[in-house]
């Protein structure tokens, strides 16, 4: 696992107020998913760049990395999965996970809530990610997922 962190990055792509820019590269080994997730979450929590709903962010990140490692990279330890974390304490957090696979058709993933799919081993991770995050986009034919969790403003 390789982690590069910039606490106060230079402005780019219109994100001038980022408090965190984290880039993680990991071997496509299912055994490194949890340590990577724990390390990323420790950094996020330590910098207090995102408060509240961090359990949702943690689970979504874990599911996205698991999908990238197992399905995108086929658990081939020689392949690399990338994860970018961008945080603006006033707007929220962006998680981007990329794998070296060819992608998939999102609409063809079985709905885990349908009766015939209740015991299926596929589709629950994507379902959870969509339920937990405020915005989810699949790019590069599904080989990249962009997840956003917005800061909730208390009134």
Measure the CA angle with vertex 73, ends 120 and 117; round to 5°: 10
In CATH, what number is assigned to the domain containing residue 54? 3.30.565.10
Instruction: Identify whether 155 is part of a domain.
Output: no
Q: Range of 67's domain?
A: 2-150
* pTM for the model: 0.85
Q: How far apart are CA 25 and CA 145, in angstroms?
A: 15
Q: What is the pLDDT of residues 90-138, one digit of tens each?
A: 888 999 999 999 988 888 877 766 777 677 777 788 999 999 999 999 9
Instruction: Identify whether 48 is part of a domain.
Output: yes
**What is the number of structural domains in the chain?**
1
pLDDT averaged over every residue in the chain:
85
Report the 3 state secondary structure along the chain. Answer: CEEEEECCCCCCCCCCCCCEEEEEEEECCHHHHHHHHHHHHHHHHHCCCCCCCHHHHHHHHHHHHHHHHHHHCCCCCCCEEEEEEEEECCCEEEEEEECCCCCCCHHHCCCCCCHHHCCCCCCHHHHHHHHHCCEEEEEHHHCEEEEEEECCCCC
């Amino acid at each position: 696992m390789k982690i590069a962190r910039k606490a106060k990055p230079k402005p780019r792509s219109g994100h001038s107020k980022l408090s965190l820019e984290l880039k993680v590269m990991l071997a496509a080994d299912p055994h490194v998913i949890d340590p990577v997730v724990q390390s990323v979450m420790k950094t996020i929590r330590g910098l207090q760049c995102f408060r509240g709903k961090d359990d949702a962010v943690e689970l979504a990140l874990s599911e996205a990395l698991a999908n990238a490692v197992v399905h995108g990279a086929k658990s081939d330890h020689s392949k690399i999965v990338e994860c970018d974390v961008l945080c603006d304490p006033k707007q929220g957090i962006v998680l981007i996970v990329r794998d070296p696979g060819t992608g998939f058709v999102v609409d063809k993933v079985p709905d885990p809530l349908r009766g015939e799919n209740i015991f299926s081993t596929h589709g629950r991770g994507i379902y959870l990610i969509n339920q937990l995050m405020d915005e989810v986009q699949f790019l590069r034919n599904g080989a990249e997922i962009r997840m956003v969790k917005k800061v909730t403003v208390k009134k």
